[in-house]
Amino acid sequence: MNLSKRMVLTVIVLISCVGCDQASKPVAQSLLSETEVWSYWGDVVRLQLAYNHGAFLGVGSSFPEVLRNGLFSLGVAGMLIVLLGYILFSKSASPSSILAYALLLAGGLGNLIDRLIYGGYVVDFINIGIGPIRTGVFNVADVIVVAGTLMLLIGTPRANKRLSER
C-alpha cells in the first residue's frame, strides 16, 4: 500500500471514529448523570456518566496529578505520533494491519482530546454485562481501540501462518 493510500485510509478512519467518539460525549454529558443509571436490554447495557482520570479501568487515577497528566497526555501523544509514523512509513504492514493501527490511533486520539479539553480526564458512559459480570465504564474511543486490537490479534496469527507456508 503506497503512502497516499495509507494517508487517505488513516484520515477517513480518524475523521469517522474520532468524530463519532467526540460527538457522543457531549450528548452523554447532557443526558446522563453520575448517580443515575439508564438500563437497556434486560440490564445488559447500562449508561451512566463517569469521569476517568486514569487509563483503562481507572489504572493510574491515584497517581499525583503532574505524573498522571504527563503520562496520559504527553506520553500518549508521543506514542500516537510514533504510531502515525509506523502507519505511514512501515514497509511490512499489510492493508488490514494499517487499518487496525489507524483504529488504535483514532481511539487514542479521541481519549487524548478529552484529556486536553476537560483538564485531564476522559468522559466514559457505557457499561455492559450480565448480572454481576460487568465491564468497567468505557466510551466509543475505547470500543475503537478494542476493535483495532482484536484485528491485530486475529490478523497476526493468520499472517504468520501465510508467511510460514511460503
Kindly list the catalytic residues: 124, 142
In whole angstroms, give the CA distance from residue 114 to residue 94. 30
Cβ atoms of 126 and 50 within 8 Å: the answer is no
By three-state DSSP, how is residue 90 classified? Answer: coil
Cβ atoms of 88 and 6 within 8 Å: the answer is yes
Decide: residue 18, CB within 10 A, 0-12 exposed, 13-18 middle, 19+ buried. buried
